[in-house]
Structure 1
C-alpha cells in the first residue's frame, strides 16, 4: 500500500471519527474515490445516501430501529394469503370461506397475492446480475432465517416463482425503451445464466436477497412498483454492503441495502416514471441537457451527432437511468458511484460524466458513420473510468 493511499485512509478516518461528521469534507474526500479498506466505502455510502445521520452517537439506535423495521416488512409482506388472519385468531376454515383464490374482490388477499406474483415474475427475470462475476450466484453467509424457517408461515419467493401457475408476462409498468437496457458486453451467455441454480434448502444465493429487496420495495411503493432497470441500481449497492469486511455490518447487508436503495430511488425515481419524461425533472430533459452541455463544450462533435441524427435517447437514456451501471464492470461502476453520491448537486455530475464519455471518443465519432457510432455508444470502448471522471471534473471546473 502506497504512502499516499495510507494518507487517504487516514483522512477518511479522521473525518469519520468526529462526533458530528463534516459532510462537505466527507463529500470532498469521497468525490476522488473511497478506499475499500476497513469498510470505509460502506460507511461513507450510508452517510452520503442519508441512511446514517451526521451525528455518530445516534448510529447504533437508528441502525437497530431500521433493521427491525425491515424484519417487520418481511413478516407482513412475504406471507401466504389467509395465514396472517389465521394466526390472529380466525380459523383457517373461516379464512377460506371469506377469502379464496377465486375471490374477485379487489381487496381480496388472494387477488393481491396473484398481482404481486406478476411483479415477482418480472423481478425474477431481471436479477441475474453481473454475469462477469460469480458473487451473485454464491450463497450468502447470512440467509434470511425468518423466511427459511419451515416452522414459520412465510413463503420463500423462490417457491412462489416455482409454484405460480401464472403465465410469465411483462408487467404493465415496463417503460418503452427500458426493456432494451442491456449492453452487449453485459449480456450473460446461456451457460452463464444456467449457473443461477437454486441452492439447497436452508441456503440463499445473493441474487435471491436482491430479489427480495426489490419485491419489498415494489410492495411499499405501489405508485412506481418495480420497473426494469431498478435491478441494476440495487445490485452494486448490495454487493458493496454484502462484502463489507466488518462482519457485524455485513450481516445486515439486506436491510441496509433496502433503505439506501429506497433513499437513492427517492432521488432518481423520476427517471423511471414515464409520465414525467418531458417534465424538467424527467429523463428527456436530462438527456437534452447532456447534448446542450456537449454543444457548449464541443460544437464540432455536437453537430456531427446531429447530422447523423444520433439522438441522446439511443444511448444516454440507459447511461442516465442506470447511473452507468451497465456500461462498465462492477468495480468501475462502484468507483463512479463514489463521485456521484458525493456530488453536492445530486447527480448533476452524472450529466458531465456522460458528456466527458462523448468527448473522450470524439475522434472515433467524427470519423465513423451512423452504424459505427451507434456501436461505439452502445458498447462504450474506454475502460479507464478515472480518465472519464477526470475529464468530467475538468468540464465542471470550466463552467
Structure 2
C-alpha cells in the first residue's frame, strides 16, 4: 500500500508539465526568453492560453496515461524511421545529399540578391535616398543604424530578433567627399568632441595621437599648443586679443630691423627664407614678408637665443595648416596667397607666430648659445642606436661617420628637411599629443592594476631582462603618476611633462636611422654614407610610412625611456 501511495503522490506532483506538452527548445532559433524585451509576447500569452486554466485532477496512473497517450503513440512513421536508422548509410549518398543542400541554399541566396537588385533599380531615378544595406535577415534598410533601431511608426521591429541575430557593424557615413569610411568616422569623433562648450583636451590628445583629419587640424593644433582655451565662449576673445597683441609688437619693433643692433639678424633671416621649402609657396612676396615679420619679432622678444638657422623651418607647418582653412586646393603649396583677403592673412600670420612661440618654449635650449639641447640629443641618439642596432652603429663608427654630421640637422629642423611637408605635418599631429597625459602609453604603463605579461611583451620585441626592468620601474612610475594627478587637480596643469618635440623626437630619429639599415650597410666608404644620410629617399613617403615610423619610435621609447640600465652599456 505504501508503494501505491507513493506512486500516486509522484504523478500528482508533475501535473503542470506532462510528457505530451510542447516546450520551446532554446538555441539558435529560440533565444532565451526575456520578459523585459518581450513584454508584448507575455501579454498575448496571458490573453489566449494554449492550455486550460484548471487541469483535471489526476488521481490514478491509468487516468494520467489516458490523458497523455499521444506522447507514447507509436505509428507507422516511427517504424519507418527506426528501420532507416538501422540501415548502414552509404557515404557517397550522404555527400551527394549534403552537396545538393548547399547548392540549393546558394541558389536561394542568389535569388534573393537578384530580387533586391531589381527592386532598387525599379525605383524612380529622381528620388534620392540614403545608401541601403542588406541586414542579416535579408531585408533592405536605408542605413546600418536603421537596422538596429526600431521604427516608431506603423512598422514594428522585432526586439527579439534585434538582440538574438548578429548585426552588421555600425557604419558612420558622412557627407565628406574623398574620405574613406575610417577617416570619416574619425572626423565625426573630432567634430563631436570640438562641438561641446568645453573641449576635453585629454581626450583630444588621445584622438590626435593617430593623426588629425585635415578639416579640423587647424583648430586642434591651436588647442593642443595652448594658444586657444578649451572653453568655446572664450576663443573669439582670445584670438582677437592675441592678434592685436602681435601687431602691436610689429608697430613697436619691426621698424628697428635696419638698426645697427638688429641689422645682422634681419639680414640672416632674409638669406634663410629663400632656402626654405616648398619654394613655390615661400618665394611668393606676400609669404616672404609674413615670414620675415614672424621671425624678426620672435628674435627680438627672445634675446637669450635670438634668431638661429633652423627656426625659420618651424613656421612653415603652422602657416600651411592655418591657410588650409581658406583654400579648397589639396596642394596648398601651389596656392596664390595674394588672392586671399588681407584680414585673413593677418589672422594666419598672428596665429602662426603664437603657435610657433609655444613650440619653441619647449625646445629653446636647442637654439641658445652653442645649442646645448641639440648636442645632448645627438649624444643620446648615438647611445640609443648602439643599443638597438649595434651593427649599424659599428658600421658608422668603422667608416668614421660622426652622428653630429647628419643628426644635427635632424634635431635642428625636426626632420623637416628629411621628409615631405605633409609627412612633417602628420608627425606634428603626434608630437602635440603628449603620452604622459593620454595616448597609448597611459593604458600600457601608467594604468592602475596593469600587469606585464612576459610572454606578450617578448612577442612585441622586448627581451626578458627588459621586461623585468620594466616591472621594477612600474611601481615607481605609478607613484609618479599619482603625484602628477594630484598636482593637476590643484594647479590645473601637469608638472613638466615630456613633450613630443623635445622628448619623443629622439626616438623618432632613432627609428628613422634604423629604417635605412640595409642601405647604410651597403655603403662601404665615408662619402657614400654621408651622402646617403643627408639625402635619404623619402620623396614618395606618405602617412602610412610616417605611422610605421611612429609605431617603431613608440616601441623604442617604451623600452628605453624609463629603463636607464638598458639605455647605456
- Determine if the TM-score, normalized by the shorter chain, exceeds 0.5: yes
In the alignment, structure 1 residue 72 sits paired with structure 2 residue 248: yes
What is the root-mean-square deviation of aligned Cα atoms in Å? 2.3
CA distance in 1, matches of 2:409, 2:391: 24
1:8 matched residue in structure 2: 186
2:528 aligned to which of 363, 372, 383: 372
1:43 match: secondary structure: helix
**Are positions 1:386 and 2:477 aligned together?**
no
CA distance in 2, matches of 1:225, 1:19: 39
The CA distance in 2 between the partners of 1:72 and 1:217, in whole Å, is 13
Deviation at residue 250 of structure 1 after TM alignment: 5.9
CA distance in 2, matches of 1:343, 1:80: 38
Cα deviation, residue 398, structure 1: 4.2
Q: How far apart in 1 are the matches of 2:515 and 2:371?
A: 31
1:273-284 counterparts in 2 under 5 A?
A: 273-275=368-370, 277=372, 282-284=373-375
8 Å Cα contact 1:241/1:253 also seen in 2: yes
1:363 and 1:352 map into 2 onto residues whose CA distance is 19
Q: Distance in 2 between matches of 1:393 and 1:43?
A: 26
Q: Does 1:55 align with 2:55?
A: no
Give per-residue Cα distances to partners, 1:211-265, cap 9 Å, x unaligned: 1111111121222221111111112222222232388866501111111111111
Give 2:195's aligned residue. Answer: 17
Give the structure 1 partner of residue 283 of structure 2. Answer: 137
Q: Which has the larger radius of gyration?
A: 2
Q: Does 1:26 align with 2:204?
A: yes
Could you tell which deviates more after superposition, 330-339 or 297-306?
A: 297-306
Distance in structure 1 (CA, Å) of the matches to 2:375 and 2:189: 39
Deviation at 1:79, TM superposition (A): 3.0
Counterparts of 1:301 and 1:209, CA distance in 2: 43
Q: CA deviation at 1:360?
A: 1.0
SS at match of 1:78: helix
Q: Deviations over 1:134-169 (max 9, x none)?
A: 22233xxxxxxxxxxxxxxxxxxxxxxxxxxxxxxx
Residue of structure 1 equivalent to 2:260: 114
Once the two structures are TM-superposed, the CA of residue 117 in structure 1 deviates from its matched residue by 2.1
**Matched residue of 1:255: which SS?**
helix
Name the CA shift for 1:378/1:215 in 2 (closer, same or farther; >3 Å).
same
Shift of 1:352: 1.1
Q: Is the 8 A contact 1:20 1:56 kept in 2?
A: yes
SS of the aligned residue for 1:274 comes to coil
Residue matched to 2:404: 313
Alignment of 1:163-182 (within 5 A): none
Q: After TM superposition, give the deviation of residue 133 of structure 1 in Å.
A: 4.7
State the 1:131 CA deviation: 4.3
Match of 1:300 among 359, 370, 391: 391
Please point out which of 256, 263, 269 is paired with 1:123: 269
The answer to whether structure 1 residue 260 and structure 2 residue 355 are counterparts is: yes
* Aligned-pair CA distance for 1:275: 4.2
CA contact (8 A) 1:244 1:250 kept: no
- 1:80–1:218 distance in 2 versus 1, CA, 3 Å: closer
**In structure 2, C-alpha distance between the alignment counterparts of 1:386 and 1:3, rounded to whole Å:** 18
Aligned-pair CA distance for 1:356: 0.8
Query: What's 1:335 paired with?
Result: 426
Pair 1:385–1:253, CA change in 2 (3 A): same
Using the alignment, how far apart are the partners of 2:429 and 2:552 within structure 1?
16
**Long gaps (5+) in structure 1:** 82-111, 139-203
Secondary structure of 1:115's counterpart equals coil
Helix, strand or coil for the counterpart of 2:262?
helix
Q: SS in structure 2 opposite 1:205?
A: helix
DSSP-derived class of the 2:325 partner: coil
CA pair 329-129 structure 1, distance change in 2 beyond 3 A: farther
- Confirm or deny that 1:232 pairs with 2:410: no
1:132 Cα offset (Å) = 4.2
Partner Cα separation in structure 2 for residue 235 and residue 255 of structure 1: 13
The answer as to whether partners of 1:218 and 1:225 remain within 8 angstroms in 2 is yes
For the residue of structure 2 that corresponds to 1:311, the secondary structure is coil
Q: Is the 8 A contact 1:35 1:41 kept in 2?
A: yes
Q: Name the SS for the 1:127 alignment partner.
A: helix
Residue 358 of structure 1: aligned partner: 513
Between 8-17 and 19-28, the greater mean CA deviation after superposition: 19-28
Asked whether the equivalents of residues 27 and 342 of structure 1 are also in contact (C-alpha less than 8 Å), the reply is yes
Cross-structure match for 1:245: 326
Work out the CA distance in 2 between the residues paired with 1:80 and 1:359.
47
Higher RCO structure, 1 or 2 (CA under 8 Å, sep 6+)? 1
Match of 1:272 among 348, 362, 367: 367
- Counterparts in 2 of 1:68 and 1:209: CA distance versus 1, 3 Å: same
- The alignment covers a number of residue pairs equal to 298
Q: TM-score, normalised by structure 1?
A: 0.69
CA contact (8 A) 2:227 2:354 kept: yes
State the 1:300 CA deviation.
Answer: 2.1
Structure 1 residue 4 displacement after superposition: 0.5
